[in-house]
Amino acid sequence: IRKIAISTGGGDCPGLNAVIRAVVRTANIKYGWEVVGIKDGLQGVMDTTTKLIPLNRHNVAGFLQKGGTVLGTTNRGNPFEIKQEIDGRMQTVDISDAVVENIRREHIDAVVGIGGDGTMLIMNQLYKKGIPIVGVPKTIDNDLLSTDVTFGFDTAVAIATDALDRLQTTAASHHRVMVVELMGRYAGWIALHSGIAGGAEVILIPEIPYNIERVCDVIRQRMKREGFSIVVVAEGAKPVGGSHSVLHEGGQGAVERLGGVAYKVAEEIEHFTGAEVRTTVLGHVQRGGAPTAYDRVLSTRFGVAAADLIHEGNFGRMVTLRGTEICDVTFEEAIENLKFVDPDGQLVRAAEEIGVCLGR
Ligand code: F6P
């Protein structure tokens, strides 16, 4: 190995730059390799004029605290399914051969792909085409079964908890119900963790379809007792017998976008309880800015482990966290299953035992 490349794919996530820094420092200091960053997911190697950024232990200074990804990213960078206009018609084409050729032409000996399940799927396909690749899991949603924790999750929970703390004081002052929509896609991890940490009265997650009458009963009692209430709604939450609220369907490799369910819940609470209700959709604030100390440490450990996998020639694998140990799994295992909140698990039970309503 003389030269490696790093790519960040899918949504941005606090800790991405900390992983990049750790890979670069390990590559330079421990192994003496050269490192380049690929611009915007894999887009930087899709054209013959490649867009690569030279990275070294000196120019990654300050990356540890930096939000977003300095390399840029995209949800639309799947070289196996690129939409192109051919003869005046939009068509899906496979340009993966060109990507493989461009990587080889740049003398890149191995690639570190940092991303979520979608990115790992693409990395696995490229690995099967002969590119030596290792993966690092990334998502604020924490919904990958193969790793106990993904970096970015702790930061998202901290930001959401801070928002809930702030909403508590304004809700109490105005005797209002505050309905807060949090991210997480089809999993309720962010909502459940920050709902518990932020002292929410009601937490609605996708894994437990909610009964609005039950929610309204709890709100009525709470308003009588305390005069204000916080309701956390995961963007993927859905009513009993209903379906997810979808903002738009996605397309060209992009995932379906969820959201707007908080407005529906707020309207129903106002209608059935007569309470004054306000809605906050926290959105991408949950993904922005500096990672927490926990995420900086996890990102650093993942980055070091990814470089080590390359050194060992262990390609086609993604680093993971199991308990307190860094391990690794094959790409197939990495993308096999998503991880959802267990409706009968300890965390949900703990919340319910202290009187939090999960909508059932
Ligand atoms: O997967 C991370 C995430 O932030 C989800 O929680 C959310 O549903 C989605 O990405 C939003 O995607 P986008 O940034 O494309 O709107």
At 295-335, the pLDDT tens digits run 999 999 999 999 999 999 999 999 999 999 999 999 999 98
- For residue 137, the model assigns a pLDDT of 97
pLDDT surpassing 90 at residue 77: no
The predicted-structure confidence for 264-287, as pLDDT tens digits, reads as follows 999 999 999 999 999 999 999 999
Torsion of CA 52, 112, 118, 193, to 10 degrees: -120
> Which residue from 138, 183, 284, 339 has its CB within 8 A of the most atoms of ligand 1, so it is best to mutate?
183
- For residue 330, the model assigns a pLDDT of 97
Instruction: Enumerate residues lining ligand 1, CB below 6 A.
Output: 11, 75, 139-141, 183-185, 235, 257-258, 287
Annotated binding site for ATP: 11, 76-77, 116-119
CA separation, residue 356 to residues 134, 204, 316, 341 (Å): 41, 10, 43, 16
The predicted-structure confidence for 107-151, as pLDDT tens digits, reads as follows 999 999 999 999 999 999 999 999 999 999 999 999 999 999 999
Q: Is 141 a catalytic residue?
A: yes
Would you give the distance in Å from CA 263 to the centre of its chain? 23
pLDDT surpassing 80 at residue 250: no
| Cβ atoms of 9 and 73 closer than 8 Å | yes
Annotated binding site for Mg(2+): 117
The predicted-structure confidence for 161-203, as pLDDT tens digits, reads as follows 999 999 999 999 999 999 999 999 999 999 999 999 999 999 9
Indicate which residue of 141, 143, 154, 328 is catalytic: 141
CA separation, residue 44 to residues 9, 30, 47, 194, 233 (Å): 12, 27, 7, 37, 38
Rounded distance, CA 269 to CA 252, Å? 37
The predicted-structure confidence for 189-240, as pLDDT tens digits, reads as follows 999 999 999 999 999 999 999 999 999 999 999 999 999 999 999 999 999 9
CA atoms within 13 A on the CB side of 112: 32
- For residue 74, the model assigns a pLDDT of 84
Supply the ipTM of this predicted assembly: 0.98
> Which residue from 140, 153, 244, 261 has its CB within 8 A of the most atoms of ligand 1, so it is best to mutate?
140
Where does residue 200 rank: exposed (0-12), middle (13-18), buried (19+ CB within 10 A)?
buried
